[in-house]
Amino acid sequence: MGTPKAPASSGGLLAEVDAVAAMADPVARNVRITQLYHDLELAVAQIFGTDDLSWCAYGVWASRQVGEAMQGLPPDHIRALLDDPDFVDNLALPPDLARWARRLAPVARRLPDAVLAKVLDALQPHLAEALGRGNHRVFTELAPTFAGFVDLWREEDGDPDRVEARLGELYQRLGHTTYEGGAGYELTLLCDYYVRALRTDDPHQRAQLVYYANLRGAHYEQQRVQGPLEEVTDVILEMPAAFVGRSGAVGAVGRMISRVAPRTSHRVGHTIGAVLGNTTTDLAVRVSTPIDDLDVGTALAPDPSGTFYPPDLQRLDLPEFDEFLRHPDNWMELGPQPSRQVRVDNWVNYHERMPFIAHVMRMRQQSTALRQPPFAARSSESAEVFDIDLRGDAVTDVGQVTGPR
């Protein structure tokens, strides 16, 4: 099987990244970000070969899901969750919030469909803004590293020694420091370990080096995106008070909450924030990929043969992985399968999110189907995506894109 081809660019990939980062429309920008992650993954595959995926392959599908979440939470799904008698228990809330959620659940279930839709509509622009900000932040910090690495590789005709000799120049250009704890330090390690992977002919060693580099990128990314994710929660926490002063159905919801708990609106707000945070995890963080729909709220499972990880990553003996075991979060495991169930109740919680990501990246590193284009429909299904002129800056229409995915 040949190496997939990445689109050529007269100005280099780094110039393309800069152009996309400058786009103002967050929805159009998200489409371009998702597509450019795909282009970067194909470009990296031309360097490393097709066996192992880079961080960009995961970035494609995560960014695509962000774009779908930016369009809002579907009222019918929220209604189905509210009508489930085990709804509160399934949220795995702390005991004090669970008590408030049980008090509020009957009120929520009585909301007419039209009112629920208006409440979700009121939330949608705030959700889209915060998610778009996180999408942009990750892209502007990680994509230049990959684009610059690829551009450097092309300039030096794929000579690892010449590429390595110029990495310092790339780091200086991007503002990365080479000392631990400095700005962009983990992104320098990402490049350093990709170069090391290029120098070995041992598939097991190469897979580990790529995985370590990908983990460094993921760790950096998840730390940087934590702020925008918490902003989503902050917006939700302020919703009850904001609703009270509104006219129409949304204001009626706010006044209803005030009547249920007139002197405890802050606690109500935190409860609603926790509930919506967890339901957003259930609905908006189901990452659709060419392989399957990855439901982060469901424990990761082995493949039909009973194995979790590809053969080259069954055993992790790279010394650098030991530092992850000493990490306070302890989200790294070296064995051939997880020692506990790996799932996420609330995606905003970094300590739940990072272990899940680490395991998924190890499980899928050699799943090359993730290199398929991001904007094609799954099998015979048809998926609504934004039809955008990738040379421009505006969404032109909402259309149907069909084909294998």
The residue among 200, 71, 91 whose CA lies nearest residue 132 is 71
- In Å, what is the CA distance from 205 to each residue of 36, 49, 151, 223, 307? 29, 15, 25, 27, 20
Mutual angle of helices 95-109 and 248-260, in 10-degree steps: 130
Residue-level pLDDT, tens digit, the chain, 405 residues: 445 544 444 458 889 999 999 999 898 999 999 999 999 999 999 988 889 999 999 999 999 988 888 877 667 767 776 777 776 676 656 676 677 677 777 777 777 777 777 777 777 777 778 788 889 999 999 999 999 999 999 999 888 899 999 999 999 999 898 877 778 889 999 999 999 998 999 999 999 999 999 999 998 988 887 877 776 666 555 555 444 445 454 455 555 555 554 444 455 555 555 555 555 555 556 678 888 888 777 888 888 888 999 999 998 989 888 877 666 665 667 788 887 888 887 777 888 888 899 999 999 999 999 999 998 643 323 223 333 233 333 333 323 222 323
**What is residue 386's predicted lDDT score, i.e. its pLDDT?**
30
Query: What does the DSSP 8-state code read for residue 313?
Result: G
Give how far Cα 329 sits from Cα of 88, 189, 195, 252, Å. Answer: 27, 20, 28, 43
Which residue, among 139, 141, 147, has the nearest Cα to 62 in the 3D structure? 139
Tell me which residue of 400, 396, 390, 399 sits closest to 33, measured CA to CA. 390
pLDDT at 233: 61
pLDDT reported for residue 378: 34
C-alpha closest to that of 59 among 156, 141, 122, 120:
141
Per-domain boundaries in the chain: 73-286+296-362
Q: Measuring CA to CA, how many Å separate 158 from each of 173, 198, 368?
A: 20, 10, 22
Amino acid 251: pLDDT: 52
pTM of the model: 0.77
Residue 33 phi/psi, 5-degree rounding, is -60, -50
**pLDDT on residue 279:** 54
